[in-house]
Structures are given as C-alpha cells and as structure tokens.
Amino acid sequence: MNSTIRLVGISGSLRKKSYNTILLNAVKELLPAEVTLELLSIDGLPLYNGDFDIPDVTQRPAAVVDFRNGLEHADGLIIVSPEYNYSIPGGLKNAIDWASRGTDSPIIQKPVALMGVTPGLWGTVRMQLAFQPVFQALGMQQTKPEILVSQAKAKFDTEGKLTDEDTRKLIIKQLLSLKEQIIKMRS
Amino acid sequence: MNSTIRLVGISGSLRKKSYNTILLNAVKELLPAEVTLELLSIDGLPLYNGDFDIPDVTQRPAAVVDFRNGLEHADGLIIVSPEYNYSIPGGLKNAIDWASRGTDSPIIQKPVALMGVTPGLWGTVRMQLAFQPVFQALGMQQTKPEILVSQAKAKFDTEGKLTDEDTRKLIIKQLLSLKEQIIKMRS
C-alpha cells in the first residue's frame, strides 16, 4: 500500500503575476513529509454546459476530461484564490461545477484546504465565506486554520518566496491538519 | 428624451432546454408598458483573466467587449439562473466578473431582478442567497419580490409558456417594481 498522500493544488486566478498563484507555488516547500503536490490549471476549461455533462458523460469536452482525470487520484485539494466581487471567481466556480457532477465526481467527499491572498486588507474573507455552501453541497470537509493572507507585498520576497514567518507557520499547521484528516479517512 | 426603459436579460444556464432560459423567454410577455427586453448570452466568454482586463482595457477579448457593449445601454438587468452546488453557476459569475471591472463597468449601480427555476423544490434559494454579496459589491439594488419557481414541470406548458397564474402575478409585480426603481433613479 502506498502511504504517500497526493494533493492537487488549484489557483483561482489566471493572471501571470497573481499573488494567489505565487502562494500556491510557495506552498510546495511547506508540505509535510510524504505529501506530494501537483498543480492543476483551470485555464482552457469551457463554460459549464449541462448538455455536455450529465447524463451523457461521453459528451464531456476533452479539457473537462483532462481536468477531472487530474483530480481523480488526489487524496485532498488545496485551493488558493482571490476574491472577485465579494465572492468566488467565476472561472474557479466553473471548474468546481465541471468536477462536481456525476457518480464519478473526483472531488466529492474530499478534504480541502482553502487559502487566499489580497494586496490590501481582509485576505479574501468573503471569497472564503462564499465557499462554505459549495463545500457543504459537495461534502468536502475544509481544514482549519483558514489561511487569509493580507498585505501580500510585505509577505513575499521578489522571487515569490513566502517570507512571513507567521503565515508560514499557519500554512504548515493547515497542511498537517489536511494530512491527518486524509490519514483518518483512509483508516 | 426617450422614456422607454431598456432591460437586458441573462440566463445563467447554457443548456438548450434549460427551464431558466425558458422562463427568461416567458418574461417577454409579462413586461410592463414602455419596457423592452433584450437577451444577452454569456456563452462564448473566455474565463476571466485580469491580464486582459484592468488596467489595460484595450486588451479585453472581443467577446468581452461585445458582452459589455450589450449591457451598456441597459437601464436594468434581469438575471434568471439555476443553482449549481448551492451557489451561482461559475459561467454566470464569470460573466459578472468581466462586466464588473473598470470605471466603465456597464452593470455597477444598476437595478436587477433575480429569478430562478428548479425542477424540484426550493427554487434556487441558495443561488439567490449567494448573489447578495455580489450585488452589494456592485451597488446593484435587487428588486422585490424574489422569484423562486419550484416544480417547474407543472408551471409551463409544452410550448414553454408560463401557465402558473401565481408565478405570472409575482413576476409582473417584480417587473413593475424594477420599472419604478429605474424611473426613480432617472429623476
């Protein structure tokens, strides 16, 4: 039996210099032992259309099949996202919608760690609040503590390394909690 | 001065036989006097990417420019949408995100009527709840009463005509309220 824990990480932003994508990359060096992280892009997904999903799953677009395949073997998810209009970015929610349907959904019941970064204050608190009903709908248990990173500029160096010690500690705590939850679910 | 009130209607579903799109079309025969309704599709919009939006608005994709142009002369919006995973469909939120940014946003501060249809019970109540912070972010005042249409099959005939008398009355009330709000804002 393979004891390695596989996480899949998704950024909610498509911007090249997105602080959220930078944070997702920075998480790689904070992973607990025997935990791997693979990044999966939401870019290239079409807009959700039920006619090409359920009930005829053979109609799913190739990009959707690839995206769902990328999630299939994940033990848990890391989602790092900005807040758009006090809520979840539409593109990210669109990816969740594509992954959510069918008895073969690759995200239902999986544990998830949620993070967000903002240049200013508040650290995506309203985006994270908007995720609560979505996680509830999908039976996805969210790991504590929540990670809200405000005033991003002061927290990273010019290479995108997360230099803020408090934030690093919180993320390590969140990832350990995610790992423990996954181990508990396995046994 | 043109006294006609122009509404733009958006369906949150891309499915061909979507009850929400059927309802949006059925609304056409319930419009108050001197109110027009034009439908605008969210299909064909790319996923939101800040690199192609703000601050360099000349980078906006053609489909986004068209979509924003379609909203520009609207006095108010009608949004009719399903509920996906206890929240707003990602594709619809994506359209809102594209329309929301910049000092030239064509939706900010505009009044909006929200409706939703479900085949079963509840009538998209959680989708409508998820819209509250979004409307707040955009200063969009939502018109009462809310329209939640449950058990859709019993409410339309086979031609897609809305036959349920109570629902028709509620929608007429909502549209009149939207009209009044627009007139108030003009004066």
> Residues A55-114: pLDDT tens digits?
999 999 999 999 999 999 999 999 999 999 999 999 999 999 999 999 999 999 999 999
**H-run or E-run covering A130:** helix A125-138
Contact between A130 and B87 under an 8 Å Cβ cutoff? The reply is yes
pLDDT at residue B153 is higher than 90: yes
> Residues A108-167: pLDDT tens digits?
999 999 999 999 999 999 999 999 999 999 999 999 999 999 999 999 999 999 999 999
Contact between A7 and A39 under an 8 Å Cβ cutoff? The reply is no
Contact between A112 and A77 under an 8 Å Cβ cutoff? The reply is yes
Comparing CB atoms, the residue among B18, B43, B130 nearest residue A47 is: B43
The confidence band for B187, taking pLDDT boundaries of 50, 70 and 90, is: confident
pLDDT at residue A185, as a whole number: 94
The confidence band for A2, taking pLDDT boundaries of 50, 70 and 90, is: low
Are the beta carbons of B133 and A95 separated by less than 8 Å?
no
Task: Calculate how close chain B gets to A89, using CA atoms only, in Å.
Answer: 7
Q: Which residues contact A87 (CB under 8 A, 6 or more apart)?
A: A126, A127, A130, B88, B93, B130, B133, B134, B137
> Poorest-confidence range of A1-5, B61-65, B88-92?
A1-5
Please name the residue of chain A whose CA is at the shortest distance from the CA of residue B138: A85
pLDDT at residue B3, as a whole number: 84
Comparing CB atoms, the residue among B51, B87, B137 nearest residue A15 is: B51
Among residues of chain A, what percentage have pLDDT more than 90?
98
Peptide bond just before A55 cis, omega within 30 deg: yes
- B137-154: average pLDDT: 97
List the one residue out of A104, A163, A109 whose CA is nearest residue A141.
A109
Average pLDDT value over all residues in chain A? 97
| Amino acid type, A80 | V
- Judging contacts by C-beta atoms under 8 Å, the chain B residues touching residue A88 are 87, 90, 93
Are the beta carbons of B85 and A100 separated by less than 8 Å?
yes
- A41-65: average pLDDT: 96
| Best residue of B13, B21, B79, B84 to probe chain A, by most A CBs closer than 10 Å | B84
Residues in chain B: 187
Q: Which sequence spans correspond to the domains of chain B? A: 5-186
Residues of B with CB under 8 A from a CB of A: 13-16, 18, 42-43, 45, 47-51, 84-97, 100, 126, 129-130, 133-134, 136-138
First to last CA, chain B: 12
Task: Calculate how close chain A gets to B127, using CA atoms only, in Å.
Answer: 10
| Best residue of A47, A79, A98, A112 to probe chain B, by most B CBs closer than 10 Å | A47
The confidence band for B2, taking pLDDT boundaries of 50, 70 and 90, is: low
Comparing CB atoms, the residue among B18, B85, B95 nearest residue A97 is: B85
Is ipTM > 0.95 here?
Answer: yes
| Alpha carbon of residue A101 to chain centroid | 18
| Amino acid type, A185 | M
List the one residue out of B20, B39, B15, B37 whose CA is nearest residue B155.
B20
Fold of A5-186: Rossmann fold (3.40.50)
Q: How many CA atoms, within 13 angstroms, populate the side-chain half-sphere of residue B139?
A: 8
pLDDT at residue A1 is higher than 60: no
d(CA B139, CA B104) in angstroms, rounded, equals 14
The confidence band for B175, taking pLDDT boundaries of 50, 70 and 90, is: very high
Please name the residue of chain B whose CA is at the shortest distance from the CA of residue A98: B90
Average pLDDT value over all residues in chain B? 97
- Judging contacts by C-beta atoms under 8 Å, the chain A residues touching residue B105 are none
**Residue A12, both tokens:** 């909610």
